[in-house]
Amino acid sequence: MSEEHKRSQVTEQKNSIPTEIHLGPNTSLDLSWLSEEERKQLMIEHTKGMLDLGRKSQELHVDSGALKRTLDDLSSTSREASEDGNSVTISHTQTTSIGRTEVLMGNTEKAQKGRLTKSQTGEKDWTPYYIAGAVVLVIVVAMITGG
């Protein structure tokens, strides 16, 4: 099919609902067997999906850039403190659309081990709840046996 013939077909079809959805550079989906209303609805859904994909891509790009700047700042701060002869341990934890990032850097023994505390990893410390439960249990048992 000549290039001019393709252009004329595109021009002719501008006012009609496309019979094909391009899913990628080498992949397309034939919609010619669907009614015009069904094709129209599918094109609307496809367009919404592409807009959502673009929005998500932009969000990931922003979060990725922010994470890179944060890591660069932390690394620079750690290096400067170390060069000045100071001991430094820097920990940073964040959750974004990229996922959860946990960083521990510095020149101390703690930083060298690379282990984050439970609070740094976001894990809830249940110890106070266990202690409170044990106290309540002791009081209840004392009331039952003593009263």
Q: What span, in angstroms and rounded, lies between the C-alpha atoms of 3 and 93?
A: 55
Mean pLDDT of the chain: 82
The residue range of the domain holding 24 is 3-83
Q: What is the per-residue pLDDT across 88-138, written as a single tens digit (0 to 9) for each?
A: 888 888 888 888 888 888 888 887 777 776 666 667 778 888 899 999 999
Report if residue 52 sits inside a domain. yes
Q: What is the per-residue pLDDT across 63-102, written as a single tens digit (0 to 9) for each?
A: 999 999 999 999 999 899 889 989 888 888 888 888 888 8
pTM of the predicted model as reported, rounded to 2 decimal places:
0.53
Comparing C-alpha atoms, which of 1, 50, 42, 2 is closest to residue 18? 42
Report if residue 126 sits inside a domain. no
In the chain, the percentage of residues whose pLDDT exceeds 90 is 29
Q: What is the per-residue pLDDT across 7-28, written as a single tens digit (0 to 9) for each?
A: 444 434 455 788 888 877 888 8
Report if residue 61 sits inside a domain. yes
Report if residue 106 sits inside a domain. no
Q: What span, in angstroms and rounded, lies between the C-alpha atoms of 58 and 106?
A: 32
Report if residue 53 sits inside a domain. yes
Report if residue 93 sits inside a domain. no
Report if residue 92 sits inside a domain. no
Comparing C-alpha atoms, which of 117, 120, 82 is closest to residue 101? 120
CB-CB contact of 98 with 67 (8 Å): yes
Count Cβ atoms below 10 Å from residue 75 Cβ, excluding itself: 13
Total domains, the chain: 1
Report if residue 54 sits inside a domain. yes
